[in-house]
Amino acid sequence: MKRTRAQFVTILAAVLVPALTHAGKGEEILQSQCSSCHALSKPEDTSLDRLLNRKGPDLYYAGVKFNKEWLVRWLQAPTRIRPAGVMYRKVVKAGPAGSADVVDESLLPSHMKLSAEDAAAAAEALAALGADSPLVTKGAFKGGAPNVMMASLLFNKLRGCSSCHAAKPGEPPHSGPELYTAGDRLKPDFVAEYIRDPQKFDPHIWMPKLELNDGDIQKLTGYLMTLKQEGGK
């Protein structure tokens, strides 16, 4: 009797434990290795000071922001997304007289790398973070192929997005994240919602809420989704 119960417990444990650790592994990685720099739940403090002092971008709505496949790849081989860091002002200094400010590269550390296994687990956990966040409405991007010529004109000239964002690699550093991997990295509904109202995500973020109509937002989102570096198409 005693023996059977012990056996049963062992079997139960053998079945349950791997399942638990598998689901929990990514979360465990996030908590132990990432939470010192990234907010994994919505911060109570929404002040400008919090934003100025945070060490990394917020990840509490990662589930509605990132493509999971991109996360798995990037976490193993991170590239720079924000050429002037998470808060540009702390990293830029005056350039030679009469020319643009420059980035002090020594102030930009490289991002930590994860093994393939850990990256997959962390990406899984990130994909679940805020997956039902009210910040992003399903269908915000209505789809459809953009007129790339017209949309890039909007991006580069008419709406002034290119002041702060690079649409192709190799440009001098800007204050905002690069967008030449936007199509690999970001979900279209997030992009549409962010362009419409950046302050919905961070009440004090230094991307302005621009005067854009829904047509602009759809065209710009469609255009950004065509910007990819990985695996082409």
Partner 1 sequence: MKTLACSLTVLLGALGASVSMAADEPSPQAVKLYDTYCVQCHGVNRDGNGINSATMAVKPRDHTDSKAMGDTPDDLLFKAIKSGGLSVSKSVLMPTWGGVLTDDEIRLLVQYLRFVSKTQSTTNQ
**Nearer to ligand HEC among residue 9 and residue 142 (C-beta):** 142
80 binds, among ligand HEC, partner 1, none (CB under 5 to 8 A by kind): ligand HEC
Cα angle 50, 66, 55; round to 5: 25
**Nearer to ligand HEC among residue 37 and residue 93 (C-beta):** 37
**Nearer to ligand HEC among residue 22 and residue 200 (C-beta):** 200
The binding track of 89-128 with respect to partner 1, each residue x by CB under 8 A or -, is x--xxxx--xxxxxx-------------------------
Q: Nearest distance from residue 83's CB to partner 1, in Å?
A: 9
Tell how strand 92-93 and strand 102-103 pair up: antiparallel
User: Using CB under 6 A, which of 102, 128, 133, 206 touches ligand HEC?
Assistant: 206
Burial call 97-122: b when 16+ CB within 10 Å, e when fewer: eeeeeebeeeebeeeeebeeebbbbb
Told to check if 106 binds ligand HEC by CB under 6 A, we report: no
User: Using CB under 8 A, which of 174, 185, 187, 219 touches partner 1?
Assistant: 174
Distance CA 194, CA 105 (A): 28
Distance CA 194, CA 136 (A): 8
CA 102 from centre of chain: 24
Distance CA 129, CA 43 (A): 14
Told to check if 20 binds partner 1 by CB under 8 A, we report: no
Distance CA 173, CA 21 (A): 42
User: Using CB under 6 A, which of 61, 175, 189, 222 touches ligand HEC?
Assistant: 175
Please give the residue ranges that form the binding site for partner 1 (CB under 8 A): 48, 52, 84, 88-89, 92-95, 98-103, 157-160, 162-164, 171-175, 197, 199, 204-206, 208-211
